[in-house]
Amino acid sequence: MTVQLIRPAPYLTFTVGGYAHRVDVVTKDIGCTIGTELRYVGVVSSITSVRLVAYRPGTRYSDRAEEIATAHLTAALERARVFAHFGASGVETLALCLADIVQEDGCRLWDPDAKEEDGW
C-alpha cells in the first residue's frame, strides 16, 4: 500500500453584495520556485472554476506563496473596486487587476498548462 501526502486545498473567500465568493489557491513545486495559481470558484456553492492568474512568486515555500496570494487578491479587490454586482465582467476585471499586481510585485506570470518550463 502506498501512502500519499494529503494536503487540504487552501482557499480564500470574499463577500460582495451579500454573497460569499471563493478563490482557490493552488501551489505546485516547479523546480527553483513554487508556481501559484488563483482560480475563481464562484459563489461558495458553485462548481464552476476559472483561472484568474498563474505566476511564480519567487519563493520555495508553499505556505509563503499562499500568504503572497492573499496579499495579491486583497490588493486586486481594492483596485477593481468590486461593489454590489460581481458577474462575469467582475471576474474579468479581477483577473486583469491580479495580473497587473503580481507583475508589479516582481512575480513572473506562469502557464501551468505548458508542457515544458521555460528557463528561470
**Biggest CA pair distance of the chain:** 51
Q: State the amino acid at position 57 in one-letter form.
A: P
Structure-model confidence comparison of residues 71 and 84, the more confident one: 71
Task: Find out whether 105 and 79 touch, Cβ atoms under 8 Å.
Answer: no
Indicate the domain borders of the chain.
13-109
The residues, ordered by sequence, that sit 6+ positions from 96 with a Cβ below 8 Å of its Cβ are none
Tell me: the pLDDT tens digits for 25-68? 999 988 888 999 999 987 755 567 899 999 999 899 989 999 99
Structure-model confidence comparison of residues 44 and 111, the more confident one: 111
Residue 97 has pLDDT above 80, yes or no: yes
